[in-house]
Chains A and B, each alone.
Chain A
């Protein structure tokens, strides 16, 4: 039996605040991980373009051109997923949760398709620095997107089965989805726009 730390007073509100603090810390840690990865990308890029060389490096010019339509599709899906998650956090109902879960899996699917397309064109992680960046950041992020999709799916299934899903839980899951989307936006901007 889980012994809850709070056992008196407006317990639910207090619990929500505790969960919020935990989420802030956990998200800060995640942001630091991705931040460090982006810092690495920044340093790689600054060094590679030190003597005025272009980015992507020679021999990798077509990488971004090939990948950006997929990235755009992924971005749209991610934003849709966040929208759905936001709706769900307000009403905790099955349709919104399912939509968010579907969008999540859609995002992951697009990322997988991106990788397969690049590999088919002979662009591998070992093809160069820009490819290294895209594959590493993309894969690592996609793993977290998978986690978000799993969380949303479980909530959607529980809701469909008639279980009462607590608002705190949905809000926490929605916050995670927003974080994953926000991280993707930053990665997308850093890799495709900068």
Chain B
């Protein structure tokens, strides 16, 4: 063999290996790819939030340090047009490009096959395609930042006619629509995989009632993804056609004779949009159910009631969407109907809380970092969930709609609770993913800062909303009745800045532990679900021999187990001793 042939072969092999990793079909690798993508965009969207908060606390004052570089045209000040871009991209990125990839793409992918006792997802190639479609979506969204007429600025909800050629000329909004469509396609591909994997690839002996609650959370989220993201896709298709081909679906107005209906978009958007918020929180709910059991060293309280509640919420989530449209002139019949159904969905939500508290009660609570974040979610979701009742009631919603009360509500439930869940998941599965432990003390510090500042930042926004402050205002002092609220806005900003700074503790912990964290054994948390029966990280094929499941996921604190095996937990592949 000549040296040239050897070199060519070496290059080909290396290239092949690189491509194999980049386009890996291993769910564990794909899960990490989603996690990295999501964390990067979480940071980006978080930075956008800091810019928003700066402007609201100090209207018209140039942003320190980075202002002149980011906004040269206005001397570093966040101007009105820029502000509309900031809140649009903050919302869009957080929902579609941060939370979705981190929780659903990241942990869903990594955990499901391992927890179910499978070697990989049902359709590994589809899984790869799902990640790269998401990546393409991020590329398109990034491109929209550089559009000649400015980035997308119609809000993450993109209501027409503001999002049509009437309100948003230029290519950015069209690119936004394409990015959302691609993101949706990625989610649906993932949903096909997750649902099929749960239905078909459970290890022998793993009935549905022996699945960890984490799996239930991801499975329910996947079903909602499969059914309702397509409705968003339909809305996106029609908006795309309106913008690019001049169709008339959403075009109306006294200056344009078109006969379309902007509210049609709102129906399509919220038929997706409401299930979407459940899609975002269901995985976190599932994870918390498991973690509370693991770190109370006793079974999850009322497993079946919890599962029943998840299913009830699943079904109800499709019929409550009208509460986003109470001020559009819905008929009283529809208004009352949606009010009643939305109120009812609070009942299964509270039953989840009962399960969580019942798990803690008479437990042997260990305040590890994952447990702290799980407890944090319980509290934060309690507060945020109850504020939803204020918005479910039409009478109070007419006043509170489009105010900061809504912003506080959805940040407490969607952002705070979900973030708590994401950090819990990261701390819990970091050893399994990367073979090392995260630092406990740094984790506790990070938790304390994050927990307190999430509550103060978004709790105070509830107060701002009661005071009548509308959303999406670059400078509230334009209104006399809002000027007294400026001090409150300053406190929200201070709180948000502390929260932002506090995340650096997590970043340091994450990267330091990646290189220098203590090595993790196969089961550092001493629990019984299947992913902890293999090494940390697992081998490529997950299990040397496919497991046979003989018990539930929360067999902790059983006296018979303690007597027979000398430990307080049973692995799912072990039968309960008589």
Number of interface residues of B (CB under 8 A): 49
Measured in the bound complex, the distance between the Cα atoms of B249 and A29 in whole Å is 22
Residue interface bits B182-200, CB-to-A below 8 A is 1, else 0? 0000001001110111011
How far, in whole Å, are A25 and B188 apart by their CA atoms in the complex? 9
Contact partners of B119 in chain A: CB under 8 A: 3-5, 7
The interface residues of chain A lying within 8 Å CB-to-CB of B201 are 5-6, 18
Q: Could you say which of A96-104, A120-128, A148-156, A184-192 contacts chain B?
A: A120-128
Contact A17-B200, Cβ < 8 Å, known A2-B124, A132-B249: yes
The reply to whether A21 and B195 contact each other, CB–CB distance below 8 Å, is yes
Q: Is A118 an interface residue (CB 8 A)?
A: no
Give the CA-CA distance A29 to B189 in the complex, in Å: 10
CB contacts (< 8 Å) of A18 on chain B: these are 122, 196, 200-201
Beta-carbon contacts of A138-151 to B below 8 Å, as 1s and 0s?
A: 01100000000000
Does B264 have its Cβ within 8 Å of any Cβ on chain A?
yes
Q: Report Cα–Cα, A96/B323, bound state, in Å.
A: 52
Contact B196 A44 (CB under 8 A): no
User: Cβ of A129 < 8 Å from any Cβ of B?
Assistant: yes
Chain B residues with Cβ below 8 Å from A140 are: 237
Cβ of A69: which chain B residues have Cβ within 8 Å of it? Answer: none
A140, B234: Cα distance in complex, Å: 10
Q: Which of B191, B227, B241, B268 contacts A136 (CB 8 A)?
A: B241
Q: Give 1 or 0 for each of A81-100: 1 = CB within 8 Å of chain B CB.
A: 00000000000000000000
Which residues on B sit within 8 Å (CB–CB) of A40?
A: 234-235, 238, 249, 264, 268
Chain A residues lying within 8 Å of B193, measured Cβ to Cβ, are: 22
Is residue A47 within 8 Å, beta carbon to beta carbon, of the partner chain?
A: yes
Task: Give Cα A138–Cα B246 distance, bound, in whole angstroms.
Answer: 15
* A129 CB contact (under 8 Å) in B188, B260, B267, B271: B260
Chain A CB within 8 A of B392 CB: no
Tell me if B167 is interfacial: C-beta within 8 Å of chain A. no
Nearest CB on B from A80, distance (A): 28
- Among A13-63, those with CB < 8 Å from B are 14, 17-18, 21-22, 25-26, 28-30, 32-37, 39-40, 43-44, 47-48, 57
List B residues at the A interface (Cβ < 8 Å).
25-26, 113, 118-126, 188, 191-193, 195-197, 199-201, 226-231, 233-235, 237-238, 241, 245-249, 259-261, 264, 267-268, 271, 540-541, 546
18 contacts between A and B (CB under 8 A): A3-B541, A18-B122, A22-B126, A22-B192, A28-B226, A33-B231, A36-B268, A36-B271, A43-B261, A43-B267, A44-B260, A44-B261, A48-B259, A124-B246, A129-B259, A135-B247, A136-B237, A136-B238
